[in-house]
Amino acid sequence: MAKITFLGAGSTVFAKNVLGDCMLSEALKDSHIALYDIDEKRLSESEMMLKTLNSNINNNRATIVSYKNRKEALRNANYVVNAIQVGGYQPCTVTDFEIPKKYGLRQTIGDTLGIGGIFRGLRTIPVMLEFAEDMAEVCPNAWLLNYTNPMSILTLAMARATNIKTVGLCHSVQVCVPHLLRDLDIKKDNLQWKIAGINHMAWLLDVTSNGIDIYPEIKEAAKKLGTPHNNMVRLEIMKQFGYYVTESSEHNAEYMPYFIKDRYPELIEKYNIPLDEYPRRCVDQINKWEKQRDTLTKDKTITHTRTNEYGSYIMEAMETNVPYTIGGNVLNTGLIPNLPSDCVVEVPCLVNRSGVNPCYVGELPIQLAALNRTNINVHQLTVEAALTRKKDYIYYAAMLDPHTSSELSIDNIKNMCDDMIKAHSNWLPEFK
C-alpha cells in the first residue's frame, strides 16, 4: 500500500485531478492519502470532496487523512505531490505585477521567468528546502513530484541543495501537439513526437503521423490561419526560429525580448498579448470557487474521469514496474549537451520501479539552445540568490532576464528589485 502525501491540498480542483486519478488506478486504489495545507478551511473542503470521491469511484478503498503536522503527513510517504503557492494571490501575486508596472514593466503571467518568476522562486525555495529537511528525516526515499512554479528554478534548487529525488511536472508537454493540430484543424492519427528543452520553453523537435513528417504541413497551415487568435506569439516563434514551443503564447511573450515593448505598444495588439493575464485568472478562479465549493464539497454524486496529469501514471509505473514515458524536469546530466550541466531540462523520461530515468536527447538546434540559455541564466542566478542569500544575485538575475533587460535601465532594475524585496519582506529571508 503506497502512501501519497499531497502538500498544498487546499488546491481542491487540482487535488481532485491528481488524487482522483490515483483512485482510478488499480495499483493505487488502496493508498494512504495524506493531505496537508496551511489553510485549514480549504484543507477540510478538500478532505470532504476526496472522501466522497473515494466512496463513489473507489469503494472506500483508499484511506484519506488530513494532517495539521507536516512532518507527520510526510512520515513514511512513498510519493509527495507539491502544489503549494507561497504568498497566494494576495498579497504576493499582486505585488509581483504592481511594483514592476510602476517602472513601466508589464507582464502576462509572471510565475516562471521575469521579475514575477524570480520573486516567486525566492519566496518558494526556502519553503521547499523545509520540505526537503522533513522528507530527509521521515521519508528519505520518497519521490517528490513538483507541480509548483517556477518549475525549473525550484527543481534546480532541490537538485543543488538536497538529496531528495525530485522530478518537475508540467501540463504543456502532453497537450502540445494535440492542441496545435486542433487549432490548425489538422486531423492525423498514429502521432509520434519528440519534445525537449527547458520547462515552458521546450521545443517540438519532430512530429510524425504514420511515420511521415508533418512539420511542413503544420507550418503551411499556420501561415493561412486568420488573425487575431490566442496563439500568435508561438506561431511567430516557429516562423522565425523554425520550431514550435510547448508553452502558451501568453507565457512565451514574456520569456523573450521581442513582444512586450513599451516603445512599440502596437505589438500588444498585433500579437494579441493579454497583459496582466495571471492576476485576471486569479480573480476569476476566486470567483469561480465560490460557485464550485458547494458542488465539490456537498454534492454526494460527484465522480471523476482519469486526466492526462502525469502524477498517477508515474506512481503506477513505479508500483507495477510497467514502464511509462513522461516529459520530466530533471538535472541536465549530459542529456542536452549544448545546455549547461547545472541547469534543469525538460526531456523524455522512462518511469519504472527504478524511478524516473531521463533519456539522452542530444544537442538542440543552435538557435533553440541559445534561446533556452537566456532563460537558464535567470534560473541559475535566482537559485544562487536563494542559497547564498546575497542580494547581488537577485540583481544579476533581473538584469539578465530577457524581457526586463530589454525594457529597463540597470538603475531602474536594481531599484525595482529593492522595492520588491521590501514589499515581500514577510515572505523572504534576509538578503545581505
Query: What is the residue-averaged pLDDT of the chain?
Result: 97
> What is the per-residue pLDDT for 24?
98
Distances (CA, A) of 141 to 74, 76, 158, 160: 11, 9, 14, 17
Integer Cα distance of 243 and 205 in angstroms? 7
Q: Which residues contact 343 (CB under 8 A, 6 or more apart)?
A: 152, 156, 198, 331, 332, 376, 379, 380
> What is the per-residue pLDDT for 298?
87
The residues of the chain scoring below 50 in pLDDT are none
Report yes or no: 202 and 168 within 8 Å, Cβ to Cβ.
no
The residues that bridge with 262 in the sheet, in sequence order, are none
* Preceding amide of 228 cis, omega within 30: yes
β-pair type (212-213, 344-352): unpaired
Question: pLDDT digit string (tens) for 133-165?
Answer: 999 999 999 999 999 999 999 999 999 999 999
Q: Which domain holds residue 153?
A: 3-90+109-171
Overall number of domains in the chain? 1
Q: Is 325 within the bounds of a domain?
A: no
Q: Is 116 within the bounds of a domain?
A: yes
Question: pLDDT digit string (tens) for 82-138?
Answer: 999 999 999 999 999 999 999 999 999 999 999 999 999 999 999 999 999 999 999
> What is the per-residue pLDDT for 292?
87
Q: Could you give phi then psi for residue 364, rounded to 5 degrees?
A: -80, 155
Q: Is 11 helix (H, G, I), strand (E, B) or coil?
A: coil
> What is the per-residue pLDDT for 342?
94
Per-residue b or e along 40-60, where b marks 16 or more CB atoms closer than 10 Å to that residue's CB: eebbebbbbbbebbbebbbee
Annotated binding residues for Mn(2+), written as ranges, equal 170, 200
Q: Is 7 within the bounds of a domain?
A: yes
Q: Is 302 within the bounds of a domain?
A: no
Q: What cell numbers appear for 184 in the block?
A: 490548425
Q: Is 296 within the bounds of a domain?
A: no
> What is the per-residue pLDDT for 295?
87
Distances (CA, A) of 331 to 157, 174, 216: 10, 20, 32
> What is the per-residue pLDDT for 291?
82
**For position 16, which CATH number holds?**
3.40.50.720
> What is the per-residue pLDDT for 245?
98
Annotated binding residues for substrate, written as ranges, equal 149
Q: Is 79 within the bounds of a domain?
A: yes
Catalytic residue check, 171:
yes
Q: Is 294 within the bounds of a domain?
A: no
β-pair type (355-358, 344-352): antiparallel
Which of 171, 179, 229, 379 is the catalytic position? 171
Q: Is 232 within the bounds of a domain?
A: no
